[in-house]
């Protein structure tokens, strides 16, 4: 269980239980198989939309207590900063859930996503920043796109 205070001073308690897991599976927000789960983690780590939907399932009762009555209102009430504040504890909660249920491989994968993926992304962004801006590079970056390097 993780307690997070967002930028608007609202307190949220994140707790992934078996019943919450079932709700997430039923809504198609998490897969129920290991093969699909590995792909899901990458998608989840990169998708603010998916993160918001998962948070809504976990926090909807608390949101309603705060007079946020729908998923749309919940997403509108979250600032990008709030999502950032909630995302990392949410990843930790997933990892803790997998440890508690004996799903060690998934716990390791959750830990990897939580710690290593941001570093990998940052390295790739830095590598892109270091590229010279030339017609050859632009051509490579836009290959297959409908935009020409000169536009």
Contact between 68 and 59 (Cβ < 8 Å): no
Q: What is the pLDDT of residues 113-135, one digit of tens each?
A: 767 766 776 777 677 667 665 54
**How high is the pLDDT of residue 109?**
73
Encoded tokens for 45: 């780590």
Q: What is the pLDDT of residues 51-95, one digit of tens each?
A: 999 999 999 999 999 999 999 999 999 999 999 999 989 988 988
With the CA atoms of 92, 96, 99 and 101 taken in that order, what torsion angle do they form, in degrees rounded to the nearest 10? -130
Q: What is the mean pLDDT of the chain?
A: 83
Confidence check: pLDDT of 97 > 70? yes
Contact between 66 and 80 (Cβ < 8 Å): no
Q: Tell me the Ramachandran region of residue 144: left when phi exceeds 0, alpha when psi lies from -120 to 50, beta otherwise.
A: left
């Amino acid at each position: 269980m993780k307690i997070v205070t967002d930028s608007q001073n609202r307190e949220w308690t994140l707790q992934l239980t078996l019943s919450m897991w079932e709700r997430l599976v039923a809504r198609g927000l998490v897969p129920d198989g290991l093969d699909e789960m590995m792909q899901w983690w990458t998608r989840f780590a990169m998708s603010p939309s998916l993160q918001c939907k998962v948070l809504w399932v976990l926090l909807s009762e608390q949101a309603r207590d705060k007079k946020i009555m729908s998923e749309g209102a919940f997403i509108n009430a979250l600032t990008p900063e709030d999502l950032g504040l909630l995302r990392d504890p949410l990843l930790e909660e997933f990892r803790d859930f997998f440890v508690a249920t004996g799903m060690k491989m998934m716990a390791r994968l959750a830990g990897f996503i939580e710690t290593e993926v941001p570093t990998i992304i940052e390295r790739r962004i830095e590598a892109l920043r270091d590229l010279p801006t030339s017609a050859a590079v632009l051509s490579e970056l836009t290959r297959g796109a409908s935009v020409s390097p000169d536009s």
